[in-house]
Structures are given as C-alpha cells and as structure tokens.
Amino acid sequence: MAAAERGPVSGLTAHRLPPGADFLARCARQILDESTSRLPDLSGIFVVVPNLLLAPDLRAAIAVAAGRPLLLPKIVTLSGWVDPLLDPTQYDTPARRQLRLFAVLRDWRMLDGNSRWQIADALIALFDELAATRTALPASEQALAEKLSAGYGIAVAEPLSFEARLVHGLWLADSGGAPSLPAARSLALRRLAQSSSAPLYVIWEGDPAPEHLAFFEAYARRAPVELFVPDRRGPVGRADAVCDVLNAAWPPDPVEAPLVERAAALRRSGASSLAERLALVPAGSLEALARHTALQVRAWLAEGRSRIALIAADRVAARRARAVLERDQILVADETGWKLSTTRAAALVDAWHEVMAGDAYHRSLLDLLKSPFVVAGLDPAQRAAAIDGIERHLARRNIIAGLDPLVASLDAETGRPELSPARVLVRRVVAARDAFPRTAAEPARWIGRLLSVFDALDARAALANDAAGADVLELLLARAAELDGPAQRLGFAEWREWLDRQFEAATFRDSSIDSPIVMTHLAAARLRRFDAAIVIGADRMHLAAGEPAALLSHDAVRRELGLPGRELAVARLRDDLSLLIANSDRLCFVWQAMQADEECLPAVEVELLALAHRVAFDDDLHRPALSDCTPEAAASLAAQRRPAPRLAPSEVPQRVSASGYQSLVDCPYQFFTRHVLGLGEREEVSEALEKRDFGERVHGILARFHQRNPRISDGDPAQLLAALEAESRAAFAVEIERNALEQGWLERWLRRLPAYLVWQREREAAGWYFSRAEQHCATQFELADGTPLRLEGRIDRIDARDDGKLAVLDYKTQSAAALAARLKSAGEDVQLAVYTILQGDEVEQAAYVALDDDVKARQLDQPQSVAADQYQRLVDAFSGMRAGVPLLAHGAAGICRHCAARGLCRRDWFE
C-alpha cells in the first residue's frame, strides 16, 4: 500500500493507491485495520463513496477482508447523507430558483422569449460552479467587464458590457434570495462536520473539489478522516504496467518530453503490451458497430466473463447495440436511462400542447388520439375503430384544423352509426380542451389543468400503470407541491417551454431488468470492477471532455475569473479512461468510422493511446470489427430471388376497378401490394390544393354546369360564360378563404373557360351532346374456371348522339401532348378501354379531354377493338392468377419512380 499523506489538518490522512482490480480490496483492508477495536460491529462508522453503485462491491470487499461475520459500516454519498437533513422551506429548490431568475430576465426585453429559460439554466450552472470552486465574481459590473476584456483580449465594448451587466446583475439577484440547493448542502455539511464524532472513511475518484475538501478537513478537526484516492503516478517499470502505458499516452502531470520520446522510454523499460486486454475497433457503419458489440459481448460471455459494461458515449449507437443484444436474448440493465422527454408518456403531453397550440391541427390531433394512454380503458377494437373513423372522416371532409368543425361534421353524419365511437372520442378531447384554458397562470395551476386533461382523456390510470408515465405524474405532482403558493405567472408558450425543460432534465430508468451486463456512462464506471467493458462511440464527437457552462465558457475568461479551464475537463476524461482500463480485464473501444460518406475520426485520447502503443510495441491496437457474415451466409444472400408471390384462388380479388386493372398492367407486384395486401396509400387531408385536387374541382364544376346546361349551342355565350365562371368561383371559395394563395388555381382555370365553351359548341355541332356525368358503372363476366369477376369504374362524362351511339370522356388536367403520348403505346393505358367495356357496344368514341393548356380531345383509335383485346387480357390475367402465375415486379422506370411499393419489391437492390 502506498504511504499515507497527512493533510493540512492533523486528523485527515490521504492514501494514494494505484488504480486496479484490487483498489477496493486495499481500501477495505485499511478500513478494517483502522477499526480493529470496533469489530465485529462497524455500523457506527461512515464510508463516503462518490456513487452508490460502488456500495455492493465495497461491502463484498469488506466482508472478504474480515473473513468473518460482521455488521457493515454505513455507505453513503455526500448528497444522500445531507439531503434528509435539509428543510425545503429554508432554501430555493431548483425549480423555484429557475423561475426566480426567469422573472428577473423578463426585464431584459432584448432577449428572445424562450431563450430566457436557456439563459437562466446556463446562469445557474455558472453560479453553482463559482460556489463549488469558492470563487466570487468581481464586486462591480465594470470590474467584471475588465476581466472579460482581459480574457477575450479585446477592449471593453458594448457587447462585453452587456454580458457583464447580465451576468453580474443575475448573480446579485441569485445571491440575494434564499440559499440554493448546493448552498444549502454546503451549510448542512458544515453543521454535520461540527457535530461529528465517528470516524469517516472516504473513497473518492480523484482529488476532491474545494468544497468537498473543506468538509473533509472540517470533519477531521473532530474525528479521524481517511481519504482513499486512485493515483496512476509512479515510476516506470513498476509491477502495474497498465499505468505505465497509459501515462505515456496521457501524462497525469505536465511534461516536456513529446509522446514519441515517452513511448520510446516505455519500450526501453521492458513494459508489457496491452494487446491482450485492449482493442481499438473502427466499424464501418452503425449496424456494423452494433453487431460487433453484440458479438464481442457474446464472446466474453463464452469465456466466462459475466460482469460486462457497455459505456454509452454515443447514445444512439448504444441503443442500437442494446437492441441487437436483446434480439440475441441477452438482456442489458440500463443504468444511464434516457431523458424523460423521449418517453411515450412525455410525448402525450407534447401532443396535447400541439393540439392546443395549433387549434387541433389534424396531424397533431391524430398524434394525440393514437397515444396508447388516451382512453386506454376502452376496448382495443373499439378504440382502433374510433381513431380510424376520425382519420378517414378528416380526410374525406378535408378538415385541416378545429375541434368544433370536426364535431359538427361528425354530428351531421346521422346515418352512419359506425362513427359513434369517433364522436365519443372527439367529445373527450373537447372536454379536455375546456378543462385547459390558455390564460396565464402559475406553474402549479398549469399542472392542475394538465392533470384535468389526463382525467378528461381517461389517461391518468394508464399513465400510473406505466413506468415512465408514473415518473411523469410524480414529477408533475412534485413540482406542483414545490411551487404551490405565489409564483411567477407563465403564458402558454412559457409554460410549455418550462415543462419541456423539466422533462428534458429528468431521467427515466427502466428498473425491471436485472442483468450483470450493464449499460452505463463513463463517470458512473469510476472505480468499478468489470470483467470486460466496451466503450461505444469512441469517436471525436462523442468521447470528448465535457464543456463548461455556456456563459463565460472561454478558457482565458475562466482563468481570469479563477475558474478551471478546459485542461481540467481533459484531465478528468483521461483519468476516467485510465480507471476504466485499469479496472477491466478486457476493454474495447469501438466507433463508427464512416457516417454519411464522411470519415469519423477516433477520439483524441484513443489516437494518442494508439500512437504510444505503436511506438512502444509496434502495435497500434487497431482490430477489425467482428462479423457473423460467414461465406455460407453470404452465399445464401446472393442466391435470393426476386419476390414472385403466387396467390391461392381464394386470395385473388373478385372485383377490380379501372385503376386496379391499370396497376396490374403497370406492374403485377404493385397490384399485389395494393389490391391483395391492401397496402394502398390512405387518403390524406389536403392542406393546400395540389394538381389532383385541382382536377377534382374542375370535374365537379363541369358536371354541375352541364347538368344545368346539357346543350349550350342555342344559349347566350356571355351568360353561359358567366354561369360557368360563377360555378368555378363557388367551387374554389372555401379553399381561397382558407388560403389566399389558392386563388392561383382558380385563375388558371378561369383562363380555360372561353376555350372550353368553344370546344363544347364544336362538339355539339358534330352531333355529340352531354348525357351523364360521374357515372358509376359495373359489369360482370366469367374467368376460365367459371369464377365471376366484377369490373367497375366511374366515368367522368358520357355523351350521346341522336342515333344512340355513345362517347366516354375522361377529363385530364394535362396537356394534349402528354395525353397523346399516353395513348401512343397500344394496350399500356387501359382506362378508356375499360370505360368502353363498361358501356358496351354502343360506344363509338373514347377520348381524354385535355384541360391544361388548350382544350382538346385525344381519342382512342378503334375503341371497340382495343376494348375486346383488353377484355381478353383481363380475363387471362385473372385466370392466370387463380392458376398460380407469379406476380413479378417489372414496371417501367416511370412507373417505379412514383410507386409506393418500390421498397417492398427491392427491384433496385436486385438490379
């Protein structure tokens, strides 16, 4: 054991021990040696640790060192020791302190509204750091401005004066209130030290901060204090070779010798390589990183290593690695947790706020209703039907926003009992809205309103039964109690930002999994013993020294103010990595080497370690990522064939529309996904008119106009033009009232009216007169095996001639040239042929009517002949499907470009 060092106070003894697997065992042995007279009852002494995660290992080490039954000492953290001694009425809780500073910042009108919360949090972090390091700001704003000027190396100017006034003014405001929680803890520690009598043992991860050292020294004036800290300093060539290599890469003290010389000295000393215990692994992708992690953990488990740590430097990559492990039936206990704001329970609150902020904007409303907590007590089938009914009704009626229009529209559908669950669900949302006025209020009152929303939505019980939901409720109730009474009133936007920041600062941990494999962060791994560990995300972005508070973060400014610079954070990172390596039998650093076609560099500390080890041992420790893709597996992937589904006769649709048949002609696999699997895209609310919406309105305008004016040849041209224009303006009125930009679509159509009426007169002069519009037609015929098939279609317009012949027309808001191109490839465009089949032998003419640039009709040549060919093709295709003919993906490039099933057929991958 290293020699003890006496501190400035006689009762304080510091023991600097080399880090390693036996660190806690040495501490335990020393505690027992100092407590011989108390054995076997050590319950009267305290052992302070930086993290309670160390407690189980420390208890085990003391029990092993004792070799007999004994009463263990009390193992505590400093905060856990003093917090029960605090009186919440005697200090500013973090939430009250934040609100108080926010209220002061309101007077700084040049600040952006929501940025005040961010500034308040940054100021609190700065003030707490000043208190922790026992540093005070200069006495005046001018003196602070001069310090800032010296730090930035520029003359005092208005921006510096503003920053100085802001920081200094808020510092005085913060100091003038009740003590903060850190200040209250310091006062409680001082009182605790003054009343001490039992010996105190402290196991710390490094040199204590000034405030902690002050407590230990004050305690030592009344009772003995033994302080144990890891120290990797020592002569080169000692037994613990790990620290020799680490010190060459990351010197614990400033040195003049460059890294190459330090590593060369290490080589001459005969130190041992770390190749057997340490690997640096660049992975080509996120998936490769996750797979390597899973395979490495499996390999360690196979070697009998059970205590394994996943150090989550990159949270996204760590989550993916955990998912891969759990897919392999390897559970991971997550100590780090994740932000409460990312849970489904917090998402419910955010969805509700979105509904209120956007007047029940349809997407926000659906997000809210689809939360698993809303009306969770309802039968799942009824709940799903209600949500589906609302979603379809919103799209059908194109209700973009507003609860009242939605309620009125649903109530108007009296003949549709299937919408009853939807009506009930929407009324619950209305009740929640009524319970949540958006007038300014204190946070406690806002919380009460939100709880009333949960009740109205029948969500509170479901939240209470969910782990994260229970945390959300607990946080809300705690803040309501904490802020009860006079407090700063917040508007809706301020309240929302405040609550978002509360959720962002809170952590949710899933405690339902108990596993020796833990996911944790680097600071929580200090002094803990692991059989193996893997640092996930050891790249320059994720494995880096922590940043100081956002305000006054410039290193030179911090030095001027007496605050530690970035070098302290770098030293802390290197010490943490050193402790992890020394306390782990096996360690792997892995990172995603490529992201978005750009190289991701390893962390600076990883590069330094690799370079030092390469100079000392001719090995940079880089290893390839593990992979389970064997040649056999690769061969099986290569042998995969294109999807070619075959249908059982019972799976073949017994009805098909014109668009369905067109899909079958375009690509059989597209038909399979849309009309067999039912994966067609759902109708959505149109927030702005699109080409399709424009076409639908034009269809409706012409249908109504011709029903009122079936023949226009004898009518007054001016009156007919006025009537058509009035019909057009009425059709676009609602959209224009909602969005003035939709006037462009109307103007585009109005320019076509004269040309359309001219074309209609020419058509009547040729003997063709309007007969019917929007005509739904159907016919039925037999397939080869005698099974009936129903063919359906809706024809835009049917004209008739006096001799009984018919013409089927389809309006297209496309150019005449584009329509001519569609009809040029015989048999590829089937719409007009299907309409001809549906109307029978009386059809003499089938045409598309172009309404885009100039009004022209593009006719299908020999419609009856083409219809006969398409009839036979349709029968053959469906008969083939019933016989098991595969539905292959062979659409043309233009079809695939806009196909929603493109990712299913994987045509791009195969080609």
CATH of the domain at 826: 3.90.320
pLDDT over 90 (residue 366): yes
Helix (H, G, I), strand (E, B) or coil at 561: helix
pLDDT of residue 108: 84
Instruction: Pick the closest to residue 17 from 2, 34, 32, 33 (CA basis).
Output: 2
Query: Which of 574, 592, 617 is the last residue before a domain boundary?
Result: 617
In a domain, 325, yes or no: yes
- Its pTM stands at 0.81
Length reported for the chain: 911
Quickly list DSSP for 220-285. Answer: HTTS-EEEEEE-----TTSS-HHHHHHHHHS-SS--SS-HHHHHHHHHHHTPPPSTTTEEEEEESS
Mean pLDDT, range 4-33, rounded to an integer = 86
Looking at the fold, whether 271 and 221 belong to one and the same domain comes out as: no
- Choosing from 477, 508, 539, the residue where a domain stops is 508
Confidence band for 805, pLDDT divided at 50, 70 and 90: very high
Whole-number pLDDT of residue 550: 67
Are both 157 and 226 inside the same structural domain?
no
Calculate the CA dihedral of residues 106, 108, 112, 117 and round it to 10 degrees: -50
Residue-range definition of the domain harbouring residue 876? 651-685+760-897
- Of the residues 154, 178, 202, which one is the last residue of a structural domain? 178
- Is 693 among the domain residues? no
pLDDT at 742: 86
Q: Where is pLDDT greater, at 632 or 149?
A: 149
Confidence of residue 849 (pLDDT cuts 50, 70, 90): very high
Asked whether residue 123 falls in the same domain as residue 63, the answer is: no
Q: How far apart are the first and last CA of the chain?
A: 68
User: Residue 579 has which token pair?
Assistant: 């402790």
b (16+ CB within 10 A) / e for 163-202: bbebbbebbeebeeeebbbbbbbbbbbeebbeebeebbbb
CA–chain centroid gap for 690, Å, is 30
Distance CA 632, CA 630 (A): 5
CB distance 398 to 366 below 8 Å: no
Report the pLDDT value the prediction gives residue 236, as an integer from 0 to 100: 46
Q: Are 69 and 132 within one domain? A: no
Q: Kindly report the CATH number assigned to the domain that includes residue 42.
A: 3.40.50.300
Q: Are 354 and 486 within one domain?
A: yes
pLDDT of 904 higher than 80:
yes
Taking the C-alpha atoms of residue 833 and residue 865, their distance in angstroms, rounded to an integer, is: 9
Confidence of residue 767 (pLDDT cuts 50, 70, 90): very high
State whether 809 and 860 are in the same domain: yes
Torsion over CA: 657, 658, 659, 661 (sign):
positive
The closest of 199, 228, 204, 182 to 50, measured between CA atoms, is 204
C-alpha pair distances (Å), 798 with each of 460, 657, 710, 807: 58, 18, 12, 6
Q: Do 368 and 484 belong together in one domain? A: yes
Q: Got the DSSP string for 296-325?
A: HHHHHHHTT---EEEEESSHHHHHHHHHHH
User: Do residue 219 and residue 258 come from a single domain?
Assistant: no
Q: Which backbone phi and psi does 794 adopt, to 5 degrees?
A: -115, 115
Q: Average pLDDT, whole number, for the chain?
A: 89
Task: Quote the number of domains for the chain.
Answer: 5
Q: ∠ at Cα 718 (714, 723), nearest 5°?
A: 90
Task: Grade residue 337 by pLDDT with cuts at 50, 70 and 90.
Answer: confident
Q: pLDDT exceeding 90 applies to what percent of the chain?
A: 64
Alpha carbons 312 and 509: distance in angstroms, whole number: 14
Widest CA span in the chain: 122
640 vs 741 pLDDT, higher one: 741
Higher pLDDT, 889 or 437: 437
The angle subtended at Cα 750 by Cα 747 and Cα 756, nearest 5°, is: 150
Q: In this structure, what CATH number is given to the domain that contains residue 464?
A: 1.10.486.10
From the centroid of its chain, how far is CA 35? 52
Asked if residue 790 and residue 678 are part of one domain, the reply reads: yes
Among the listed residues 847, 844, 843, 845, the one whose alpha carbon sits nearest the alpha carbon of residue 858: 847
Q: Which long-range contacts (CB under 8 A, 24 or more apart) does 256-263 make?
A: 259/608, 259/611, 259/612, 259/615, 260/615, 262/612, 263/611, 263/612, 263/613, 263/614, 263/615, 263/616
Same-domain check for residues 74 and 117: no
In a shared domain, residues 552 and 577: yes
Sign of torsion, CA 331 336 338 340?
positive
How large a percentage of the chain has pLDDT more than 70? Answer: 95
Distance CA 566, CA 545 (A): 8
User: Tens digits of per-residue pLDDT, 207-260?
Assistant: 898 889 999 999 999 999 999 999 988 654 444 578 889 999 999 988 888 999
Nearest of 428, 427, 448, 426 to residue 437 by alpha carbon: 448
Calculate mean pLDDT across residues 579-604.
Answer: 93
Q: What is the pLDDT of residues 279-314, one digit of tens each?
A: 999 999 999 999 999 999 999 999 999 999 999 999
Specify whether 539 is located in the same domain as 482: no
Would 486 be classed as within a structural domain? yes
CA distance 130 to 180: 13
In tens, the pLDDT along 250-281 reads 999 888 889 999 999 888 888 889 999 999 99
The dihedral sign for the CA sequence 203, 204, 209, 211: negative
What does the block give as tokens for 176? Answer: 């003038």
User: For 497-506, what is each residue's pLDDT tens digit?
Assistant: 999 999 999 9
349 within 8 A of 450, measured Cβ to Cβ: yes
- Residue 798 in any domain: the answer is yes
Asked if residue 841 belongs to a domain, the reply is yes
Q: For position 2, what pLDDT does the model report?
A: 47
- Tell me the CB-side half-sphere exposure of residue 649, using CA atoms within 13 A: 9
Domain assignment present for residue 17? The answer is yes
Tell me if 277 is assigned to some domain.
yes
Q: What is the DSSP string of 439-499?
A: S-B-HHHHHHHHHHHHHHTT-HHHHHTSHHHHHHHHHHHHHHHHT-SS---B-HHHHHHHH
Number of helices (H), then strands (E), in the chain: 38, 22
Can you tell me the mean pLDDT for 430-451? 96
Q: Cβ distance 829 to 836 under 8 Å?
A: no
**Structural domain contains residue 699:** no
**Kind of pairing, strands 308-312 and 278-283?**
unpaired
